[in-house]
A and B are shown apart, each in its own frame.
Chain A
């Protein structure tokens, strides 16, 4: 694996780990909350990038795996007092299994049809969970505070959730990089450019696409498990929120589609912008409008995103940043 001797990957992961450790060392609770959210968005955007950026399949309803993972893990922790880490891992595997089952039929669809199908699956799952009594139906489920006692109280449970989210974010980035540099990644990108040509060159598109889909479903499920563990409550609306799915798409586009660093930059910039807009009184009521305008500008004029643009303009950036 020559990819693992990269001069880009390790410094990047090291930098992120360092940033992640910052609020733990200084004990800054509000900063920790901010970073928690950003790491979650990095996971969503980065995992989406694997199927959308590398393979060119726009999964509009990718949030379905986040919601599903959240529900499976929450249910395990709620009914069997399963430990967070075990429950999250189980949720990830369930999400991947579902992606494997639905992947083969829906990945046959191309372009707009695939995008619509993923929206349909998310909405179907949301309305199904709303009616599914073991998962609490429309009201969802919520923890008794005593659940956190097993983790040494609510405070250290929050600490654990933060560390877990940071680790999953690092794992997602690592996976994203390794895929991009592997033969498998090349196969995906060949499919993105021209599926028929890829097939002629010996790529099995159906198989490669399902593999990418299964991998990209795993990480959002972990993020969902950790997020809803920390919230202590899960409801169908917030779990399967289509808007969040589209926000993840925006982050990928903003940072640079198909790049490893893009989704990270996109998630951080988007979240920073969103919170700045919301907390600035003069702008708070227009934050959606400004977000829309920004998206339009990116889509119309900077299609490659921030990282893509820099890579395009500067040779030095292109040499180091993936």
Chain B
């Protein structure tokens, strides 16, 4: 029983970070119906921003995280202008391939610069022990940061003019343009925010686990599962989906071998797509 509590707490906490990454994917889809296949490499880039800044410049990893946030926003806007803007209204295949080409380019340069050997960021914030439950300081802080970023995103989307414009563009681009909103600016901004969330999540994951430039792929598929759980295009759903997936990962290892966990995850993923394509929070079709 104690072990069950311990692993669910652990899974739950990890779920917030997964959820943050997935929010980036789902925000982009919600606003412009683009599935960003460069999501994984962007998460990995976030990891390497932290690594480079801590190892080469001796920066505190959490200060480096601020740089990752800024870099995420900037690179997202660049990716949008170069690869997505021209094909924004084309069929799905085109945008899938366009973002996948960005994926290839990032991985291509990344493997050359960083190689594929495993890395880790040294950071130790102690731990809190309560019976069988041990909460690592790094993990607690990661949850805190992930949750505050999520709250900040909501405040931005619902309280500021730019945020409202993004929601208007997501709702109906033509109508938003008729109301005087420069939609291409806000599409670029949304893409920037989406990649920013992914990079931030990557930065947080770097403080928890060891990683390589190819690690993003694992988290990308996790994000797909989460996004589908929560409903494509729904940020709250993504956070919820992240927590569910984290819990599932934590708890299921108590009952089934670790290697069976992905089978369970993907089975749920396909089932949800078939039965409730709008996600758990979405309306039934």
Contact = CB atoms under 8 A, between A and B. Distances in A.
B104 A291 contact: yes
Nearest to A291: B104
The secondary-structure label for the interface of chain B is helix
Contact of B259 (A138, A253, A295, A299): A138
Nearest to A128: B263
Contacts of A120: 224-225, 228, 266, 269-270, 273
A108 B275 CA distance: 11
B94 interface: yes
A124 B228 CA distance: 15
Contact of A115 (B35, B107, B108, B269): B35
B152 interface: no
Interface of B: 29, 33, 35, 82-83, 86-87, 90-94, 96-98, 100-105, 107-109, 111-112, 221, 224-225, 228, 232, 257, 259-260, 262-263, 266-267, 269-270, 273-274, 277
Given A112-B33, A116-B35, A250-B97, A295 B277 contact: no
Contacts of A117: 270, 273-274
Given A115-B96, A117-B273, A296-B102, A290 B108 contact: yes
A300 B79 CA distance: 13
B108 A288 contact: yes
Nearest to A124: B266
11 contacts: A111-B92, A112-B96, A120-B269, A124-B270, A131-B259, A285-B111, A289-B104, A296-B83, A296-B101, A299-B87, A303-B94
A287 interface: yes
Nearest to B111: A288
Interface of A: 52, 56, 58, 60, 105-106, 108-109, 111-113, 115-117, 119-121, 123-124, 127-128, 130-131, 138, 246, 249-250, 253, 257, 285-293, 295-296, 299-300, 303
Contacts of A286: 108-109, 112
A58 B96 contact: yes
A290 B35 CA distance: 22
Contacts of B225: 120
A109 B275 CA distance: 10
Given A111-B91, A120-B270, 20 more contacts: A109-B273, A112-B96, A112-B232, A116-B228, A117-B273, A117-B274, A119-B224, A124-B262, A127-B260, A128-B263, A131-B257, A131-B260, A291-B104, A291-B108, A292-B101, A292-B102, A293-B101, A296-B101, A300-B83, A303-B94
B80 to A, nearest CB: 13
A61 to B, nearest CB: 10
A113 B277 contact: yes
A117 B228 CA distance: 10
